Structure 1
Amino acid sequence: MPHLDIRLPMRWSDTDGYGHVNNAAMLTLLEEARIRAFWGAPDEQVALGAEVLPSALPTFDGGSSVHTVVASHRVEYGRELPFRRDDVIVRLWLSRIGGASLTIDYLVLTGEDPDGAAPYATARTVIVLVDEATGRPTRIPAELRGSLARFTGEPLRFRD
């Protein structure tokens, strides 16, 4: 299945009094992975060494008249994720490309389980593309839809 593995450092502030990643911090990890995967760095930051991923889409850069907003999140926790000094791996892919929306599925993993047999969390985010001027949803252009198709995979199954 096509996917992107985004490696993220864990911050001490991501953990709570119980010593594991707080539920709100988990959403921040997912956000960081989503931004790194799909939003390209500005040219001046690339010139200074910013990472350029092949998944970065020009429509999501700062100069675009199209913006994205989060429509929903769903997170299911498989087990506690304690503080780690090695990177967390957020595996993500698009499970649905709608008319004006994208559904991003995630597995939160570590190097001990790179195949995702026992993810720390499974999650889904639905984002909607909106026109900056009107704030209304805007259809995903055909050329962008084609670029996105290479990152599509099977949707996750969640507990009922």
Structure 2
Amino acid sequence: MGAFVAEVALRWSDMDAFGHVNHARTITLLEEARADLLFTEAERQGLFGMAEGMVVARVVIDYHSPLLYRARSLQVRMSVRELKAASFIIDYTAYAQEAVATAETLMVPYDLRAGRPRRLSADERDFLAEWQLVDSEKTELGRA
């Protein structure tokens, strides 16, 4: 299917004293985009389990240019990589007018009641597989 695209509004409070979006706020904006994929889109397709437990095990972000508040919104293109039995990576490319950041999060499905990681269900794996990119799409998004 290709990349999932989410549009996230920038807020005045995202800006720091230097006039660009603060690092911690950028991570939060990526989180909002990820929630749009893993919760909103998954539920739209009839998959409700992901909202019951998914944790970030690692996050890495590379900045390419400052994200300025005047951009008003951030377009975040996401794809899934390294889809395993009990984890997967989401790759992000965040655009204002140009690519401002690339990032990745290692996600682990989590059983909140048992208090431990769990395996992805077959339905979850199928949903996530929809967002895996082919090589030509990876190059286009800057994740070769």
For this structure pair, what is the TM-score category when the shorter chain's length is used for normalisation? 0.7 to 0.9
1:37–1:55 contact (8 Å) kept in structure 2: no
| C-alpha RMSD of the superposition | 2.3
For residue 118 of structure 2, give the secondary structure of its aligned residue in structure 1. coil
CA drift at 1:85? 5.1
Structure 1 unaligned segments of length 5 or more: list them: 42-51, 114-118
Matching residue's letter, 1:79: S
Matching residue's letter, 2:101: A
Which structure has the greater CA radius of gyration?
Answer: 1
TM-score, normalised with respect to structure 1? 0.76
Q: 1:57 to 1:21 in 2, by over 3 A?
A: farther
1:39–1:56 contact (8 Å) kept in structure 2: no
CA drift at 1:53? 7.5
Name the counterpart of 1:80: 66
2:56–2:105 contact (8 Å) kept in structure 1: yes
1:43-98 per-residue CA deviation (whole Å, 9 max, x = no partner) reads xxxxxxxxx9856742123xx4xx11110100000000111254210111111211
For residues 56 and 87 of structure 1, the distance between their equivalents in structure 2, rounded to whole angstroms, comes to: 28
| Bigger helix share | 2
Identity level (%): 34
CA drift at 1:5? 1.1
For residues 101 and 122 of structure 1, the distance between their equivalents in structure 2, rounded to whole angstroms, comes to: 20
Q: 1:78 to 1:85 in 2, by over 3 A?
A: closer
2:67–2:100 contact (8 Å) kept in structure 1: yes
Structure 2 unaligned segments of length 5 or more: list them: none
Name the counterpart of 2:83: 97
Question: How many residues end up aligned between the 2 structures?
Answer: 137
Confirm whether residue 28 of structure 1 aligns to residue 8 of structure 2: no
Matching residue's letter, 1:95: R
